[in-house]
Structure 1
Amino acid sequence: MSHFHGTGKRSAYFEGWYFKQTGEDGTAAFIPSFHIDEAGNRWASMQIITQEASFGLEFSNQDFHAAQSRFLVEIGMCRFSKSGCRLDAKAGEHSVTGILNFEERKKPRYDIMGPFALVPFMECRHKVISLHHKVSGQLSIDGKRYRFQQGLGYIEGDRGSSFPSEYLWTQCYWETGSIMLSIAKIPFAGRSFTGCVGFIYLNGKEYRLATYLGVKLIKVTKEEIQISQGGLQLAVRLIEEAAHPLKAPQGGSMGRIIHESPSCAVFYEVRKDGQVILEHYSQNAGFEWAMDG
């Protein structure tokens, strides 16, 4: 299995990875990415987002290296893998340094895309690398220290030509579990449909929610999302966002601006066969809304 898919690509392509971690001093997320624009130009970037701000750093194609046989990405002096990150980058007034170690990583049971992972020419393919893991180490971001003695983390990735034109995404973890949900407009065979992928990791068990498993979208607004699948129901309520701008891929380039709350207030409720199996309020939830309405 190839862990990096950009080798041999010629135009309009991106591949990026999202590392989020929360510790004693707050939340920090990193998005290392590889890009090819429609003219065939290649480069790499890294975006950093915290509760306070967001910023991005650009790198030449020569500064980017990715392994084929295992998940390992290097951009400049920064290194990203399933077992941890090493950060050492500076540009202008911005800087990030530090080392993080990941342990007790929980892998998804199978590809989050299910059978759609085999469909060619999709605009964007999503991947979950770690449902939940422990984080230790420390960082310095623009002079602020972030300690992770009992930290929690999550890793996902995307690749393709562009992010969906409309989508929402939310993610949350706590000591013994995690949730991710994404709903997006998916172009397919000249038309489009609304697709959904997500999971609930609870008490050591993964509950998968997806279009390919028959999920039903009951209510989708920015303030409240309700979905069901068989005897499982998930409700998500955005209490208070804290969004910062990020660049998103469009035709391989990073020409689109979206807004993400890496750490905001969200309430999650999960019912199974009518019984509440999870009620969780978090001030460290991630949330993005890029939908009409």
Structure 2
Amino acid sequence: MTDYRSLHRHRSFFEGWYFRHQGADGAVAFIPGVSISKQGKKSTFVQVITKSGSFNQTYPYTAFRACRKNFSVRIGRNVFTEKGVHIDMNGPGLHCTGEIRYGPLTPISSDIMGPFRLIPFMECNHGVISMKHSLTGSVTLNGESISMDGGIGYIEKDWGSSFPSSYLWVQCNRFSDSSCSVMVSIAEIPFCGTRFQGCIAVVCFQGREYRFATYRGVKIIRCSETGFILKQGDYLLEADILSKPAHQLLAPQSGEMSRVIRENMSAAARFRLYENNLLLFDLTGDEVGFEYVK
């Protein structure tokens, strides 16, 4: 998941990483990425989202650097690695500086895309780099200091031509039971002239990984802006989303960052996991990352 897909692409392509940080002072996410239009114009960007707002700063493509040997992305003075992030952004309405350091990452057991990773024409591909890792450090955003000491981080990435036309995405790793972390994505997938509703999801709980996916026969019983229910074999995962005001982000459409979506950084959500109708956990998370696009 740390290799770079955009280096030899010439049109209608995007590649982006999502670095999410949750601390006592709140949550902040950085989204660095590369955008290549239908005409082959390349640019790079860093988006920032917090509980209170969102920002986007674009850079010329020459500001982008990626290291093949180690996971490292540099855009201007901003550096993103498996060891942490260094932020130095100045733009209209945005001044953000600081450094957040990471403890050891916790990747999932195998590629979340399963056999779909072998298909070269997928509209959007997804990767989970770390479900949970410890944080230290802080960032200052427009004069407000946000400490991440003792916080929790999460990293994922996406690449392809466009985000799905409709989808649900939710991520949380802040529960009363610190062993629990959740990522769920349900989306409309174009495939060989047809469309289907696909799902990829991971629950890590008390040292065990539970995987829900289309390629494992998951059934999507419910999917809406108020939550979802997934059934797969003996397991059932459900969530109720208590959404709060979301903030604007840019998303790719045919490679260009021209589509407007909204993400909630601080929703509350109640998650329940069952095995053979036996409740394994019933946990409510705060500062849940949530997107619902219809």
TM-score (norm 2): 0.97
Aligned-residue offset at 1:183:
0.4
**Counterpart of 2:233?**
230
Deviations along 1:124-166, one digit per CA (max 9) or x if unpaired, are 1000000111111110011111101110010000000100111
**Counterpart of 2:75?**
75
CA distance in 2, matches of 1:143, 1:272: 48
**Counterpart of 1:245?**
248
Deviations along 1:12-53, one digit per CA (max 9) or x if unpaired, are 110000011111110000100111111111110010000000
The code of the aligned residue for 1:196 comes to C
The code of the aligned residue for 1:277 comes to L
Deviations along 1:45-103, one digit per CA (max 9) or x if unpaired, are 01000000001000011100112233210000000011110001111220111111111
Q: Does 1:274 align with 2:265?
A: no
**Counterpart of 1:113?**
113
Asked whether the equivalents of residues 241 and 287 of structure 1 are also in contact (C-alpha less than 8 Å), the reply is no
CA distance in 2, matches of 1:24, 1:65: 32
The code of the aligned residue for 1:220 comes to C
The code of the aligned residue for 2:226 comes to E
Equivalent residue runs for 1:207-218 within 5 Å: 207-218=210-221
SS at match of 1:90: strand
Between 269-278 and 152-161, report the one with greater CA deviation.
269-278
CA distance in 2, matches of 1:217, 1:92: 43
Asked whether the equivalents of residues 102 and 134 of structure 2 are also in contact (C-alpha less than 8 Å), the reply is yes
Pick one of 175, 179, 197 that aligns with 1:176.
179
**Counterpart of 1:41?**
41
The alignment covers a number of residue pairs equal to 291
Structure 1 residue ranges without an equivalent (≥5): none
Pick one of 274, 286, 290 that aligns with 1:283.
286
**Counterpart of 1:133?**
133
SS at match of 1:62: helix
Asked whether the equivalents of residues 168 and 223 of structure 2 are also in contact (C-alpha less than 8 Å), the reply is no
Pick one of 186, 198, 201 that aligns with 2:201.
198
Q: Percent identity?
A: 38
Between 72-81 and 238-247, report the one with greater CA deviation.
238-247
CA distance in 1, matches of 2:245, 2:208: 30
SS at match of 1:163: coil
Asked whether the equivalents of residues 132 and 177 of structure 1 are also in contact (C-alpha less than 8 Å), the reply is no
Asked whether the equivalents of residues 65 and 73 of structure 1 are also in contact (C-alpha less than 8 Å), the reply is yes
Q: Does 1:16 align with 2:1?
A: no
Q: Over aligned residue pairs, what C-alpha RMSD do you find?
A: 1.1
Between 245-254 and 274-283, report the one with greater CA deviation.
274-283
Between 220-229 and 158-167, report the one with greater CA deviation.
220-229
Asked whether the equivalents of residues 250 and 256 of structure 1 are also in contact (C-alpha less than 8 Å), the reply is yes
SS at match of 2:116: helix
CA distance in 2, matches of 1:282, 1:214: 27
CA distance in 2, matches of 1:170, 1:271: 19
Asked whether the equivalents of residues 172 and 180 of structure 1 are also in contact (C-alpha less than 8 Å), the reply is yes
The code of the aligned residue for 2:208 comes to K
Q: Does 1:26 align with 2:26?
A: yes
The code of the aligned residue for 1:198 comes to A
The code of the aligned residue for 2:282 comes to E
Asked whether the equivalents of residues 83 and 103 of structure 2 are also in contact (C-alpha less than 8 Å), the reply is yes
TM-score (norm 1): 0.97
